[in-house]
Amino acid sequence: MNTMKSSFLARVGIVASAAGLFFLLRPDVLKAVLNVPIQVRAAYRQDVESPNLIQKYLREHQVRKLQLGAGDNSYEGWLNTDIDPLENQAYLDASKPFPLPDSSLHYVFSEHLIEHLTYEQGMAMLRESRRVLAPGGKVRIATPNLTKFIELFRESPAQGARQYMKRAQDWHEWPRTADPACYILNSELRSWGHQFVYTRRMLVAALESLGFGEIKEFQPGESDDPALSGLEARARWGYRDVNAYETMVVQAVRP
């Protein structure tokens, strides 16, 4: 019996060694094998859980509100979505067709999302927002304002701009450089996966080209519609003065 057991263990050892050598030589295969459960789970969430969650939300809510790119800021009464959804969030890629019927929503909101898309993808997001909104429905976009960063380069920046540069460096723990405006602009254009940063003129023109009207600008957290007030999470952060300087909030209505 001991001889048989030793022989079995020896064979197991040989197989394990061979497998280890194979995966050492082909780490790509090992990664693929280890990722299978993650991929299966992601596919199940995208193809099964999310459609069910969306249909349940549409059935149970008379006033329907969609948040794109929710992250960890889910709101009660909203259909909270993300490309990497957390618990009770639906999968939604904002650059692709939304898995929602035409004219099925009353509000669409996103905070610091559209700048992570290319211009073409951002237009697709706004186009889809218009499609899923019912007439009279509203879209609200919070995003960095490129003009505010350009203002940092003035020969004599306004006091608010000078204060912003100092506070932004503190917030992000950026190094103190000879030209902080240069560092900040490069960071805003290249960091955090940013793809396209808008001016107010560009964002308003994009909305107008898609048929939106009644376009208004607000401070973060403020709105003339109670359903859209107090939404921006960054407005509640410790560095909300930094957010107030760099973020524009544009609201528009689908006719």
Q: Give the pLDDT score at 19.
A: 53
Q: How many domains does the chain have?
A: 2
Q: 81 and 34: one domain? A: no
Alpha-carbon distances, residue 104 vs 38, 78, 95, 119, 167 (angstroms): 32, 13, 19, 25, 42
Q: What pLDDT is stored for residue 218 in this prediction?
A: 97
- Do both 100 and 154 map to the same domain? yes
124 token code pair: 């697709």
* Phi, then psi, of 104 in degrees rounded to 5: -100, -5
* Residue 235 CA to its chain's centroid (Å): 16
Q: Give the residue numbers spanning the domain of 36.
A: 1-55
Task: Tell if the pTM clears 0.85, that is, is over it.
Answer: no
Q: Kindly state whether residues 126 and 170 are assigned to the same domain.
A: yes
Do residues 93 and 184 share a domain? Answer: yes
Q: Cβ neighbours of residue 159 under 8 Å, at least 6 residues apart? A: none
* pLDDT by 10s per residue, the chain, length 255: 555 545 555 554 554 565 555 545 556 655 665 665 655 556 666 767 899 999 999 999 999 999 999 999 999 999 999 999 999 999 999 999 999 999 999 999 999 999 999 999 999 999 999 999 999 999 999 999 999 999 999 999 999 999 999 999 999 999 999 999 999 999 999 999 999 999 999 999 999 999 999 999 999 999 999 999 999 999 998 899 999 999 999 999 999
**68: closest CA among 118, 126, 119?**
126
Output the six-digit token pair for 98: 């939304």
CATH number at residue 119: 3.40.50.150
Do 47 and 65 lie in a common domain? no
Residues 70 and 92 in one domain: yes
Whether residues 7 and 38 fall in one domain: yes
